[in-house]
Structure 1
């Protein structure tokens, strides 16, 4: 049986990661009517791979990249009891491998890096109506914290 493993992304992985980004955007469009209709990009993935305050992790099976995620070190609000936290994003698992624990493996690898940076808090955003993503994050130990609300005027 071939094992899935995680590793730090490199610039050689950029082409597939750009495809993953479009997969994330396509999955999120039904939850967000404010996204532009044309092709958009959320991230500068190449810059993130090269940054010292970001860790981009990929999951690999049989030499194929099947998942991704990043942790970015952020400054916490001055009223919180921690100075820094890690923001997680770019969480993607190829559709053929969903439900196999890939997301959890990526979060565990990111958690290890975050702890190595002396940081003890991780946060992420997820659309309220994206129940499958919410379940996946809760399975990985995340708990709902705040609700971000909006109104179009």
Structure 2
């Protein structure tokens, strides 16, 4: 096999995780599926959030509006949205953006941090019946590779502390706990 064929196979393997599942960039035709998953995700957040600050969406249109903001953020902040697809069905997605901290842009940041270029994971969702199949890891790997290609120095995310499953997934994939936000309801 020549070098050109090996390179083609390497590129195909990057996107085809198995014969049936692939990770790819989101297309406009994926929006309805992703909106439904976001609706489900927010419902889950509202159930597990001990503070009761997370509310379920009142309608699917609320989820659509939220996802449009996430799409706009990805477009405006050098980000991406990737989907996991199996048998022509969207089974998960991840959204990430890039935030660059340049010296002189924020005096308070400059006083306490080195300049950096960070990838931020805004959303990660895998349908419940596909959790534990490695889909979350594959989506994280895809966004991580994208951030690396953009010379990011770190990847950050926020996760609801009550979302024990998500915390475990992130830690299993190399993320460490860094900041701890606490709340007192008054």
Q: Report the TM-score, using the length of structure 2 for normalisation.
A: 0.74
CA distance in 1, matches of 2:57, 2:145: 37
Q: In 2 relative to 1, CA 13–51 (structure 1 residues): closer, same or farther, beyond 3 Å? A: farther
CA contact 2:74–2:95 (8 Å) conserved in 1: no
CA distance in 2, matches of 1:106, 1:47: 20
- The question of 1:11 aligning with 2:28 is answered yes
| Structure number, greater radius of gyration | 2
Q: 1:67 aligns with which of 73, 87, 92?
A: 92
> Which position in structure 2 is the counterpart of 1:35?
54
**Secondary structure of the equivalent of 1:100?**
coil
Q: CA deviation at 1:81?
A: 2.3
CA distance in 2, matches of 1:135, 1:51: 30
Q: CA deviation at 1:48?
A: 4.3
Q: In 2 relative to 1, CA 110–37 (structure 1 residues): closer, same or farther, beyond 3 Å? A: closer
Gap runs ≥5 in structure 1: none
CA contact 1:7–1:58 (8 Å) conserved in 2: yes
Q: CA deviation at 1:131?
A: 1.3
Q: Which moved more, 1:38-47 or 1:83-92?
A: 38-47
- The question of 1:56 aligning with 2:75 is answered no
Gap runs ≥5 in structure 2: 1-17, 102-108
When the two chains are superposed, the root-mean-square deviation of aligned CA atoms in Å is 1.9
> Which position in structure 1 is the counterpart of 2:116?
83
> Which position in structure 1 is the counterpart of 2:142?
109
Structure number having the greater helix percentage? 2
What whole-Å deviation, never above 9, does each CA across 1:127-149 have from its counterpart, x for those lacking one? 21221111111111111111111
Q: CA deviation at 1:51?
A: 3.9
CA contact 1:60–1:66 (8 Å) conserved in 2: yes
CA distance in 1, matches of 2:143, 2:71: 18
Which structure carries more relative contact order (alpha carbon 8 Å, separation 6+)? 1
Q: Which moved more, 1:76-85 or 1:11-20?
A: 76-85
CA contact 2:99–2:117 (8 Å) conserved in 1: yes
CA distance in 2, matches of 1:65, 1:51: 24
